[in-house]
Structure 1
């Protein structure tokens, strides 16, 4: 019997750990699923991953039991529904700096908001074998909404953003946030901004999320209240493993 889904785990306050997918190859997703990751995020913002590649990545994710989200650039939200139709578990949306943007994201994800087009015919609806009402309920209950806090103006609107219904995670993009603030990465000033996001998320009853470069950073931020981590990427994991291999080479 399968356990709780990703959204249920996040909302229960469990610590979940994933990674970014930057390689448009379904085999990578399948391997990470077999490795036992809690989730992964296909990085359409910074990697060459189009809708056709997402189709294959989503298929591999479903086959290996790995919840797959997508992160993609752009001010519009019309990219969200097609990815959810493919079977993605949710979205991570960059540069959400106000309540209006957060509401638009949630409206693009949740059928109950009344504007997302509905059809159970794609993969997410088991190719039409799920009834329309059951499909709508299942999608709205299980789809994860993560919005990225990575702009200085967002810090003064955290409570407004976090109060958006249907929002699951306030996720800090530390590199972009440090750039927007004009501070070092890492730095005490950046840490202070991240703590502000954590506090706002906890006040609103949503999960705080954070990107970390490697797993050694997780315990510290877990102690500070972060429960959703994206750690590195598939490329980083491959690079780290290859470099570790080469340290065993004899001169």
Structure 2
């Protein structure tokens, strides 16, 4: 499987999508299509850990890294998903430095707070030594923290300065709502550029959700290197709507 974290740190242009359907076949199809990664959207879709297990298995089979996004003030949901062999996590509504540190504590064994056992899939079912398991997981697990609250804009420096944070990922819809701004709007674009500036200052990669892939080139020119565009469901509905329209015409 591709090393997604290394590609993020190298600031390659990476394009993926959200997965909202709890089926390993979706992971397989998107991987065969050539996407760089996908994010399983446990925040806004009914996807449980047993389904995540099969989706993580499919991601390894097809060679496409997947991450999880799940809402929750505590961070105890993170380690079990990484144990399944997922490439990392995208954590919503990270507000400040201490919040980002808590996310990193849940991901990196080197911080001494994540429960340690090489028995799950990520440890080759016990086939890896503990030192190798620790080092491999810490080297490859992706930490994306979502910037999607107006108050977080005042803490960008402290968040971006944390070494174990790999990416600041902008959630534009929630950010606009928190700012009481329109989506899209010039005010929102200015806030996005503030996040980009913090990333450049601290050599952190920046990610962005775009509803339309046509917006990728412009934002890439502005310094954003990873994009989540739409979802499996939006792609299916768009194709089906086009097919239905062809029949009516």
- TM (normalized to structure 1)? 0.97
Matches within 5 A, 1:65-104: 65-104=63-102
Q: Which residue of the partner structure matches residue 204 of structure 1?
A: 202
Q: Which residue of the partner structure matches residue 168 of structure 1?
A: 166
Match of 2:120 among 114, 119, 122: 122
Report how many aligned residue pairs link the two structures: 249
For structure 2, list consecutive stretches of 5 or more residues without a partner in the other structure: none
Superimposed CA distance per residue, residues 106-125 of structure 1 (whole angstroms, 9 cap, x where no aligned partner): 01000000010111110111
Match of 2:58 among 57, 60, 66: 60
Q: In structure 1, what is the Cα distance between the partners aligned to 2:248 and 2:47?
A: 39
Q: Which residue of the partner structure matches residue 18 of structure 1?
A: 16
Superimposed CA distance per residue, residues 25-78 of structure 1 (whole angstroms, 9 cap, x where no aligned partner): 110011001111111001010000111111111111111111010000110010
Q: Which residue of the partner structure matches residue 230 of structure 2?
A: 232
- Across the aligned residues of Structure 1 and Structure 2, the Cα RMSD in angstroms comes to 1.0
Runs of 4+ in 1 over 3 A off after TM superposition: none
Superimposed CA distance per residue, residues 80-138 of structure 1 (whole angstroms, 9 cap, x where no aligned partner): 00000001100000000100000000010000000101111101111111111111111
Q: Which residue of the partner structure matches residue 220 of structure 1?
A: 218
For structure 1, list consecutive stretches of 5 or more residues without a partner in the other structure: none
- TM (normalized to structure 2)? 0.98
The alpha-carbon deviation at position 12 of structure 1 amounts to 0.5
The alpha-carbon deviation at position 250 of structure 1 amounts to 5.4
